[in-house]
Amino acid sequence: MVNIDAIGAIGLSLALGLLIGIQRGWALRNEERGSRFAGIRTFGLLGLVGGLAGAIRAIDGDFGTVLIAAAAILILLGYAGAARHGRNISGTASLVGLLTLGCGFLATTQQEMLATIIAVVVTLVLALRTQLHGWIGRLNEVEVNAIARFALIALVILPLLPDRAYGPLDAWNPRQLWMVVVMVSGFSFAGYVASKRLGASRGTIATAGAGAMVSSTAVTAALATRLHNDAEEAPILVAGIAAASTVMLLRVLILVGILAPLALPALALLVVPATLVSALATLWYLGVAKRHPAKPSQEVTVHNPFDIMPALALMALVMVLSLVSRWVLHRFGDAGLATVLALSGMVDVDSAIITMGGLPHGTLDGQTAGLILAVPVMLNTFVKAGVTISLAGWRRGWRAALPLVASVAAGLLMLPLVLGRPLS
C-alpha cells in the first residue's frame, strides 16, 4: 500500500534541496563549465538522498545510516578531488552539501518544519553573501570584540543561569537578573548600529533617536546643553528632545509587553497619547527647522554600547529594588510599592519595569500594575523637562520642555478611563 505521507516527505526533501540548489546555481552561473562543485541538480539529489535515508531508517536503521554516511563521504571526496586539481572551490560548497543532506533526512523523520526552517535560513545566508562581506569589511577590531562579548553574555552565560528564586524574600532570579544585562546591552547595540548606519553627523534626530534607546535622559541633557549655546539650531534641537522622548515611550511599551504584559493594556491607555503628542511635536519642530535651516548640527555623543559596566550597575540597582519592593509590598501594600518604583523611575524607567516584571504572578492586577508603572514614566518625563530648563535656561528651554509637559498632560487625561470612570 502506498504511503502518501512518506511520498510527501520525500518530495519535501527534494524541494528543499532544489531550493538551496537554485541559489547556488544562480550564484555560480558565470563560472566555467566543470569548475563548480555542485549545481541545482546535485543539491536537489542530495536532499533526495537524505530524505531516502530517513525513510529507510524507519525500516532498517543500519542501512539508512550507511546510506547517509556514504553520501556525506562522497561530498567530502568530491570537494577534496576538486581542490587537488587546483580548482578554486569554496569550503562553503561542501558544508552546504552536508546541510542539504541533513535537511532531506529531517524532512522524512517527522521534523518537516525544522528541515524547512534550516533550508530557508541556509538559502538566506547564502543569498546575503555580498551584504555580509560588506558588513564585515566595515567592522573594526573594537566592534568585533564587542560583538563576541555580547554573544558570550547572551548565548552562553544566560542559558546556564538557574531560572528560580534565591535570596531573602525570594527576590532574586539569576536568569532574570542577567536578562537585564542582556537587554541593556541589546538596546545599546541597536542604538549604536542605528547611529552608525544612519550617520550621526547628518542629523540630530537620527542620533537622538538612537541615543534614546540607551538613555533618553542623557540625550535630553546633551541637547539642552547645546540649546543653551546655539539659538540658531533651536528648532532642530527641540525636535531632537521630543524625538528622544518618543523613542523612550515606545521602548517602555515594548519592554512592558515583554517583561510585564499584564500591565500593558492599562499602561498603553496612558502612554500612547503621550507618545503621539511627542511624535507630533517632533514633526512640528522638524517643519520649523526646514523652513529656517541652520548650520550643520554636531553629533550627540552615544556611549559605547558594548560597555558592560552600566548594564551591571543597572542589574545591581534592580537587585536592590527587587528586595526593597517585595519588603515594601509585604509591609505597606500597593501604595508603598508605587512610591519605590516612582522614585527609581525618575532616574531610570527601565529599572522600574524590570522590577515590576520580577514580581510573583498574581501580586497585582493589570490595572494596578499599569497605574504603578505609569507613575515613573510620567515622573521621568517631568524630570527631563526640568533638566531641559535648568541646562538651556528658561528663555530657550521652555519651548523644549513644553512638548514633554504636554505629553504627560495627554496621558493624564486618560486616567479616568483607566480607572473605569467615563471621561468628563
DSSP 395-424: HHHHHHHHHHHHHHHHHHTTHHHHTT----
CA 163 to chain centre: 22
* Mean pLDDT in consecutive groups of 10 residues from the start of the chain, 424 residues: 72 90 78 63 86 81 77 75 60 80 88 90 87 76 77 86 82 81 68 58 64 72 74 76 89 85 86 92 85 54 56 72 69 63 61 70 73 81 84 82 91 81 42
DSSP SS3 for 74 = helix
Give the C-alpha separation, 314 to 264, whole Å: 22
How many residues belong to the chain? 424
In contact, 191 and 211? CB cutoff 8 Å: yes
Q: What is the pLDDT of residue 277?
A: 93
Q: Is 84 exposed, middle or buried (0-12, 13-18, 19+ CB in 10 A)?
A: exposed
Place of cell 493624564: 412
Give the C-alpha separation, 63 to 53, whole Å: 8
Give the C-alpha separation, 253 to 255, whole Å: 6
Give the C-alpha separation, 82 to 249, whole Å: 58
Question: For helices 394-412 and 264-291, what crossing angle results, to 10°?
Answer: 150
- State the DSSP code for 171: -
CA 193, 198, 204, 205 torsion: positive or negative? negative
Task: Residue 12: count other Cβ atoms within 10 Å of its Cβ.
Answer: 21
End-to-end Cα spacing for the chain: 73
- State the DSSP code for 296: P
In contact, 401 and 388? CB cutoff 8 Å: yes
- What does the block give as the cell for 1? 500500500
Instruction: Tell me, yes or no, if the pTM score tops 0.85.
Output: no
Q: What is the pLDDT of residue 421?
A: 47
Q: What is the pLDDT of residue 335?
A: 59
Q: Which residues contact 101 (CB under 8 A, 6 or more apart)?
A: 46, 47, 49, 50, 68, 71, 72, 75
